[in-house]
Amino acid sequence: MLTDATFIRRLDSLYLLARKVLNGSLQADRKSTKKGTGITFADYAEYHPGADYRSIDWRVFARFESLVVKLFEVEEDATIYILLDQSKSMESKFRYARQLAAGLGYIALNCLDRLAVYGLSDSLTPLLEPARGRGSVMPLLQELEDARTVAGDTRFNSCSRLFQARHQRKSVVIVISDFLFPDGFDDGLSYLNWHKHDVYCLQVQNDDDTRCTLKGDIELECVETGQHRRVTISPREAALYEEAVAALNARLIASCASRRIGLASTTPEIAFDHVIQDILRKGGLVA
């Protein structure tokens, strides 16, 4: 259960570690490009009637006899979005994936970052609308507890475009998935990266994903679409399957590295809090 006291104590231990190693924020130092009345100097602008006279740079006036005002960077926290894969291929790993989402979400809310969670399938399903503060922890955990996998192909690339249409401001996007998407993942990652989102991929796979133990003449059913197909699996076909999955995972590593996207790969055999501890000790959600 994601809402029982024992599990929440594990989450609280992660938050205490986050405070210690990340100085109270799950995010790296991310500043808006907007200019206003922050504390970091950004540029000059010509003075006009009605502007704050306290921002006039009198040293510039003394030298050039020109009235200009200082502009500063406005520091704004980016919202953290968790995209949780709800496809049927995640069924055996879904509890574990929800634990990872709960751990990262718990830290974000306790660090007073803004957080939102979407289910990722053939579309985006809101699980937690943008929220901030400790008061949103129980609604987060309850929504994750109630979440279930859904049938149908997961369209990550089209979901990435839908996400951008809804959220155009630069954000932190955490994708928790096995990344076994029918239409691939490269276009979606490229799209999010091109729109300046800070993306972090958390890949969850188990032995059933990476190894083929089936043999002989069998009938397979696609867990996502329900389609059936009779196949003959020899040691050669089993080896080709394992090579294909290894190649896909290598492409994910290369795709993330080329775009400076953070990536961590794990299995349900590794305790979820150990995975998050490792992420925190490496500096948080950074490449």
Token digits of residue 163: 């996400």
pLDDT, position 256 = 95
Task: Give the gyration radius of the chain's Cα atoms.
Answer: 23
pTM for the model:
0.82
User: How would DSSP label each residue in 206-248?
Assistant: -HHHH-----EEEEEE-TTT--EEEEEE-HHHHHHHHHHHHHH
For the stretch 237-285, pLDDT in tens is 889 999 999 999 999 999 999 999 999 999 999 999 999 999 998 877 7
Can you tell me the distance from the alpha carbon of 276 to that of 13, in angstroms, rounded to the nearest whole number?
11
Q: Give Cβ neighbours of residue 38 (< 8 Å, ≥ 6 apart).
A: 72, 73, 74, 75
pLDDT, position 35 = 47
| CATH superfamily to which 5-29+77-281 belongs | von Willebrand factor, type A domain (3.40.50.410)
For the stretch 98-113, pLDDT in tens is 999 999 999 999 988 8
Domain ranges for the chain, please list them.
Answer: 5-29+77-281, 35-73
Mean pLDDT in order along the chain per 10 residues (287 residues): 92 90 60 49 67 73 76 64 95 96 95 92 92 94 96 90 91 95 93 94 94 84 76 87 94 95 96 94 75
Could you list the beta-strand ranges (E) of 111-194: 115-120, 124-131, 172-177
